[in-house]
Structure 1
Amino acid sequence: MEINLDQTINSGQVFLWKKLGDIWYGVDGQNVFSASQDKISSLKKDELDFFRKSDDLGKIFRNISKDKTIKNAVKKFSGLRLLRQDPFQCYISFIVSSNSSIQNIRSSLYHICEKFGKKTTFQGTKFHLFPEPERLARASNAELSSCGLGYRVPFVKKAAISVAENKIDFDFLKKTDYTTAKETLLEVFGIGNKVADCILLFSLDKLESFPLDRWILRSLQNYYPEKFSFGGKTLTDKKYQALHDKLVEYFGKYAGYSQQFLFKMIRDENQKKWL
């Protein structure tokens, strides 16, 4: 099955990507990628399998295809893939993402890279890498504020310090189970259920993670009005966990793939902007 780069990159998983001609360029931690439909190259050897080529997609798609809605989404966006991102960049990116648009998230992250990241040149184009945890942890509130972070400044600062001081160990989070990893992330100031689930799904190999944001809630109301409801207008922590458990029970251990197809489909139906 061939990956569709436009579908995959324009699916709310990554923000530091731009398209020049037919080629996508993206910053991932201390690496830079160039990707076209024919070739994927990187500044450093891609040992993390960023595009998850090793995933058994036939098995995964069969596993998640529980109903017509998902079957149609898989057919329509058959080239959509989950990405395996640099954990620190993903962690900061989704802390920055809370209550914001893709365009604003992207702008803030580019400012963070320009201000605190190392410069590099790849395939004749200049890039700023994502800053190391220690560099971001040393940043002043004023410096962070100049990146357009608003009320998220203390969240980003404390999150970076947690990694720099080894209170958050991404290698451990990758190896441990979903529940332990999520509980660990939720202890970080500024991380709630949805942000934790995004970090777990997009960078820590927790494919049962099913991030619930307003778009996913809208998709569940649209496509599954009888099956997945949470009552009331506010999704409390308790309701979030109950709904998440129900979704994982229904979609199975690759539920995160289902979430990505639903997210892509509902935003495209509403003609929302991507990168």
Structure 2
Amino acid sequence: MEINLDQTINSGQVFLWKKTGDTWYGVDGQNVFAASQTKAESLEGDRIDFFRKNDNLEKILKDISKDLTIKSAVKKFSGLRLLRQDPFQCYISFIVSSNSSIQNIRSSLYRICEKFGKKTTFRGTKFHLFPEPKRLARASNEELSSCGLGYRVPFVKKAATSVTENEIDFDFLKKSDYQTAKDALLGVFGIGNKVADCILLFSLDKLESFPLDRWILRSLQNYYPGRFSFDGKTLTDKKYQALHSELVQYFGKYAGYSQQFLFKMIRDENQKKWL
């Protein structure tokens, strides 16, 4: 089963990607990728299997296809895949994403890279890599504010500091079970349930993670009226956890793939912009 890069990159998982001709160029931590439908190259090699080529897609898609809605989404977006991102970049990206649009998230992250990231050249093009935790941790509030972060400035600074002080250890979180890893992330100032679930799904191999934002809640109301215990009101922590458990029980251990198909489908139906 072949990946469709347009569907995958334009699905809300990543932000630091641009398309030139038929090639997508993206920054992932201290690496840069250049990928087309026929070839993928990277500055530092693909040590983490960024495109998750080793996932058993046939098994996963069969497992999540519980109903006609998901079957239809899988058919429509058959090349949509989850990505395995650099954990620190993913962590900061989704803290920045809180209550923001994809275009604004992207703009802020590019400014962060330009201001704090190392410069490099790949395939004749200059890039700014994502800053390392220690560089972001020592940034001043004024420097961070100039990146368009608004009220998220202290969140980003504290998140970076949590990594430099070993309060957050991504290698440990990858090896941990879902709930242990999530509890650790929820202990970081500025991280709530949805942001934690995005980090877990997109960088820490927790495929049962099912991020719940307003688009996913809308998809549940539209495609599964009355199926799940969501009354259309604001999700408290308790309600979020209960709904998440219901969704994982329904979709199974690869529920995160289901979430991505629903997210892609509902936003495309509403003609929302991607990258």
Same fold, TM exceeding 0.5? yes
After superposition, the C-alpha distances for 1:42-64 in whole angstroms (9 at most, x for unaligned) are 00010100000000000000000
Structure 1, unpaired ranges of 5+: none
Q: Distance in 1 between matches of 2:216 and 2:226?
A: 15
CA shift in 2, pair 1:232/1:12, >3 Å: closer
**In the alignment, which residue of structure 2 is the partner of 1:81?**
81
Q: Give the secondary-structure state (helix, strand or coil) at the position aligned to 2:120.
A: strand
- Find the aligned partners of 1:67 and 1:108 in 2 and give their Cα distance: 38
1:270 to 1:232, Cα distance in 2 relative to 1, 3 A: closer
Q: Which amino acid is 1:13 matched to? A: Q
Is the aligned partner of 1:247 residue 2:247?
Answer: yes
Alpha-carbon shift at residue 231 of structure 1 (Å): 2.5
Measure, in 2, the Cα distance between the counterparts of 1:205 and 1:128: 26
Q: CA RMSD in A?
A: 0.5
Match of 2:42 in 1: 42
* Structure 1 length-normalised TM: 0.99
TM-score normalised to structure 2 length: 0.99
Paired residue for 1:175? 175
Q: Does 1:29 align with 2:38?
A: no
Which letter maps to 1:244? H
Q: Does the residue aligned with 1:210 lie in a helix, a strand or coil? A: coil
* AA in 2 matched with 1:67: D
Q: Note the C-alpha offset of 1:232.
A: 5.1
Q: 2: CA distance between counterparts of 1:101 and 1:13? A: 13
Q: Deviations over 1:74-119 (max 9, x none)?
A: 0000000000000000000000000000000000000000000000
Unaligned runs of 5+ in 2: none
Q: Which amino acid aligns with 2:241?
A: Q
**CA contact under 8 A between 1:174 and 1:204: conserved in structure 2?**
yes
Give the Cα separation in 1 of the matches to 2:32 and 2:228: 39
Q: Distance in 1 between matches of 2:14 and 2:86?
A: 11
Q: Name the counterpart of 1:149.
A: 149
- Matched residue, 1:20: 20
Partners of 1:30 and 1:228 lie apart in 2 by: 41
State whether residues 4 and 80 of structure 1, in contact with CA within 8 Å, keep that contact through their aligned partners in structure 2: yes
8 Å CA contact 1:11–1:263 kept in 2: the answer is yes
SS of 1:225's equivalent in the other structure is coil
Read off the aligned partner of 1:135 and give its amino acid letter: R
Contact 1:221 1:229 (8 Å CA) reproduced: no
Matches within 5 A, 1:1-275: 1-231=1-231, 233-275=233-275
1:119–1:126 Cα contact (<8 Å) kept: yes
Distance, in Å, in 1 between the alignment partners of 2:230 and 2:222 is 14
Cα 1:235/1:220, change in 2 over 3 Å: same
Q: How far, CA to CA, are the matches of 1:229 and 1:149 in structure 2?
A: 34
Distance 1:13 1:232 in 2: 25
- In structure 1, how many angstroms separate the alpha carbons of the residues matched to 2:82 and 2:263? 12
1-side partners of 2:135 and 2:37: how far apart? Answer: 35
The size of the alignment, in residue pairs, is: 275
How far apart, in 2, do the equivalents of 1:187 and 1:165 lie? 14
